[in-house]
Amino acid sequence: MALPGADFRGQTVLTRDYDGSVLQYGPGEIALILAAERLMAEHGVLGVSLRQVNLAAGHRNLGAAHYHFGSREGLCRAVHRYRATAIDGRRSELLALATAADHELEVRFYVEAYVLPLADLLLPREMGCFYLRFLAQYHLSSMDVRPLQQTSPAAYFAAQKIEALLPYLPQGIRRARMRDLMHNAISALANVEHLANEGSLGEDEVSLIAANLVDTLTAALTCPISARTLHQIARMQGREFPSGFPKRNNRRASHSVF
């Protein structure tokens, strides 16, 4: 029996549903999942029909995808379930290191826990690398991403920890930066995923891409708010913001400006 997220068409794979229950995918379902992942990564989630997925998966029954997954959205969720179990499992392993730490961990630690399991998907795989671009396309579609979050509890935990380490940011800015963390991580990795399929990325290249991305995202999360941004927040609140740039320790008490 194959591991969750592995690229094996001829085996049965166990993964978890959104409610935590165990799901079993057979070879026919895995073929559909991998075909949908590749086609939607290349053409967009809404640019691929279930019929095209059936043909790409080699199914004679052109209703196979609908039979197994019910709809395009059901198939997309199956793709996510198929990959997310292994990805979030890796995150849990990284986050377990936090329990052994004898000091308060910094934002970068939790950003690494979020990013590194995604960056690992850039390493060469027999069936090719498509999930990052699939994720990017899914987020661009009009489909609801909230159910997908239920299969990634470790990612949610890391996000909570990051947000708790940024109490000096106004709530609206803090949450906007958290949204950007997810979207920018996925987009940046998706932009280089094609290089993995071309054989241009080895372990060293992937490690460098991941480390630089973690640097960039950590800086974006923790950078000071500019005077212009603070002035705009105050203007939207109908209050005049005093001239000058407040010191960082003064902003720590500003939880309700936005």
Determine, yes or no, domain membership for 230. no
Give Cα separations from 90 to 94, 96, 232, 240 (angstroms).
6, 10, 40, 47
pLDDT for the residue numbered 204: 94
On whether residue 2 sits in a domain, the answer given is: no
Q: How far apart are CA 113 and CA 123, in angstroms?
A: 17
pLDDT of residue 172: 87
Residues of the chain with pLDDT under 50: 1-9, 241-258
- Any idea what the CATH number is for the domain that residue 78 is in? 1.10.357.10
User: Using CA atoms, how far apart are residues 40 and 137, in angstroms rounded to an integer?
Assistant: 7
pLDDT for the residue 244? 43
Structural domain harbouring 27: 13-223
Residue 251 lies in a domain: no
What span, in angstroms and rounded, lies between the C-alpha atoms of 84 and 90?
10
In order of 95, 136, 158, the CA distances from 88 in angstroms are 10, 17, 11
Total-model pTM? 0.80
Angle CA 187–188–192, to nearest 5: 110
Residue 163's pLDDT is: 94
How many structural domains is the chain composed of?
1
Is 253 part of a structural domain of the chain? Answer: no
Euclidean distance between CA atoms 64 and 134, whole angstroms? 21
What backbone phi and psi angles, to 5 degrees, belong to 23? -115, 150
Q: What's the rounded Cα separation, in Å, for the pair 254 and 167?
A: 9
Does a structural domain hold residue 176? Answer: yes
